[in-house]
Amino acid sequence: MEIRQGIPVSPGIIISEALILDSEELRIPQRFVEKDAIDGEVARFKQAVEDSNKSLEQEIDRLESEIEIHARILGVHRDLASDPMLHSEVEKLIRDNCYTAEHALSRVMNRYVRKLQDLKSPILRERVHDLQDVEKLLLSTLLGKRIEGLSNLKGEVVVIAHNLTPAQTAKLDPEKVKGFATDMGGKTSHTAIMGRALGIPAVVGLDNISTSVVGGDRIIIDGYRGVVIIDPDEDQVTDYLARAVEMEKLSLHFRSQAKLPAETIDGHLLEVHANIEIPSEVKSAIEFGAAGIGLYRTEFIHFQSPTGGEEVHFENYRSVLESLDGLPLTVRTLDLGGDKLPEGGLEEENPFLGCRSIRWCLANPEPFRSQIRAILRAGVLGPVRMMLPMITTIPELDKSLQIIDEVSSELRESDVEFDENMPIGVMVEVPSLALIASHVADRVSFLSIGSNDLVQYTLAVDRGNEHVADLYDPMHPAILQLISQLVRTGEDHGVRVSLCGEMASEPIYLPLLVGLGLREISVSPQLIPEVKQVIRNLLDYDVRILTERCLRMSDGESISRELRLWAVEHLPEVALRLT
């Protein structure tokens, strides 16, 4: 028996057998063929591509009705496998060197991978993973070896891996994959977000869990506390089975109350909105009791159709608004760059401090203007707000607002119907903007605190890096002071202040956020029922006293400890998750 402590990223408890995600390369048994076999090798390669694409198409068809973004990832793999340049280079090596199809493919793909790795750019890492996944798929087809996919498992498992690439998470079947634990990852990493989206327990940042577990080992994953137990004894299994039953009862209770308002005991009403990436998420957001969409991430619209422009965006917004049926929608303009590399994007040494988000939009005004047109037009179909991300200076904000005014004038002159009075706001994600919020509030209709990046940029901690995950602390006094200042600024200027980010989804943090005066938050749809339940158990007077006490503390660890002690006394349902 071994107990490991990691980072809890998706709540729940599961006890199951481990499946180790194997990264071992497929062995190529033969490198050369006789000259008279060359045509046969070329034909074999083409057949392998055809067979692999059929397999991908089947998986895409299945996923499009369930998890749309995963289907898009596999669509990238299909396109890579179908690339005429790849086919041409592989065929040339076969014909010029008498290589087997497997050996020619491996040499071409390795060259592609090296080119990307030599750029030393973190934003290209996922593209390396894509190439490696495609190579593995084609090689397994050529070699006649069926690799057991994560989407067609025979029994229930928990997946143990060094890391999960987008392609691998695309294949997670929540009916069979009941949880996962990884060496890498942080609270807001890709794997963390996907675990929550799938609704399965997950723990990340476990350092070397993938080399500590043997396939078939019995594993307990506690996604509430970040604990993974390898080969537990019978007493531990019994205890966790009972705990899992108790927590499931709590979850069902939360969901049964999801439609009730998020109102404190003494009558302070909060709005709990949902963060979404694709239109199909709206249905679950409404089922879980969302008051609207507080953050619609639009990058995936751009990746789906980089040249589609205005009409593609407009149709996506229309689809969301139809599903919302009168509930409000906040659309964030493109947040490209950083770890979301646009087509033809710059290769930068430090992309998170480079040409990302609003900087990219101002440097690429045509897609920005097209999106603004689509948002303004969508405003006549329902209540829509436009939000500008990662503004750092007043000139940046003024330039963005000027472009919005210019687009509005163009629509007006063309007699195109649009929302003349659409609320325009900014996402506060960097300290520079938070510290000059009074100047910002004079120019916009609302402020939305993007807590994930605000913590990252304030504390100089990469939020996806497990090596510094312990330094990524939303309860750091500097973060709380910035949020407090922003709320006060909003009150002074009559501007609404909300918070969207993982910070708002942590039940233990909610009393502090309410005590700071926040009245609107936005979280992942699946987390809304519990968030609303916690709010309904708060007394505004009590949480303000708690907040004043926490704001006098000098470190995040002390504040977190204070919040835990407070939860034990005032929020037994939350405390149950932590003990």
23, pLDDT greater than 70:
no
Annotated catalytic residue, options 87, 190, 268, 493: 190
545, pLDDT greater than 60:
yes
- Closest Cα to residue 355, out of 343, 341, 371, 368? 341
- Give all strands of the β-sheet with 227-230 in edge-to-edge order: 2-5, 227-230, 218-222, 13-20, 157-161, 177-182, 202-204, 7-10
Q: What is the mean pLDDT of residues 300-306?
A: 72
Question: Which of the four pLDDT bands, split at 50, 70 and 90, describes residue 10?
Answer: confident
Q: Return the H-helix or E-strand segment holding 101.
A: helix 101-118
Say which CATH superfamily domain 259-578 falls into.
Phosphoenolpyruvate-binding domains (3.20.20.60)
Q: What is the mean pLDDT of the chain?
A: 87
> For residues 119 and 508, which has the higher predicted lDDT (pLDDT)?
508
282, pLDDT greater than 70:
yes
Asked if domains 35-143 and 259-578 share a fold, the reply is no
Q: What is the mean pLDDT of residues 149-157?
A: 73
377, pLDDT greater than 90:
yes
Q: Give the tens place of pLDDT for each residue, 224-275.
A: 889 999 999 999 999 999 999 988 888 889 999 999 999 999 999 999 999 9
Active-site residue, 190 included? yes
Annotated catalytic residue, options 355, 361, 500, 550: 500
19, pLDDT greater than 90:
no
Write down the pLDDT at residue 344: 47
Q: How many CA atoms lie within 13 A of 511 on its CB side?
A: 29
Cut 0.75: pTM above it: no
112, pLDDT greater than 60:
yes
Question: How many angstroms separate the CA atoms of 506 and 501, rounded?
Answer: 10
Question: Which of the four pLDDT bands, split at 50, 70 and 90, describes residue 65?
Answer: low
Question: How many angstroms separate the CA atoms of 366 and 334, rounded?
Answer: 12
Angle formed at CA 272 by CA 266 and CA 275, multiple of 5 degrees = 165
Question: Which of the four pLDDT bands, split at 50, 70 and 90, describes residue 120?
Answer: low
Q: Give the tens place of pLDDT for each residue, 399-442.
A: 999 999 999 999 999 999 999 999 999 999 999 999 999 999 99
Contact 546, 515 (CB under 8 A): yes
Write down the pLDDT at residue 576: 66
**CATH number of the structural domain 35-143:** 1.10.274.10
Topology given in CATH for the domain delimited by 2-20+154-252: Glucose Oxidase; domain 1 (3.50.30)
Residues in the chain: 579
Contacts of 239 (CB under 8 A, 6+ apart): none
Q: Are strands 218-222 and 13-20 parallel, antiparallel or unpaired?
A: antiparallel
Write down the pLDDT at residue 24: 47
Write down the pLDDT at residue 63: 63
Write down the pLDDT at residue 464: 63
215, pLDDT greater than 70:
yes
25, pLDDT greater than 50:
no
220, pLDDT greater than 90:
yes
Write down the pLDDT at residue 491: 97
Question: Which residue carries 């909060």 as its tokens?
Answer: 270
Q: Where are the domains of the chain?
A: 2-20+154-252, 35-143, 259-578
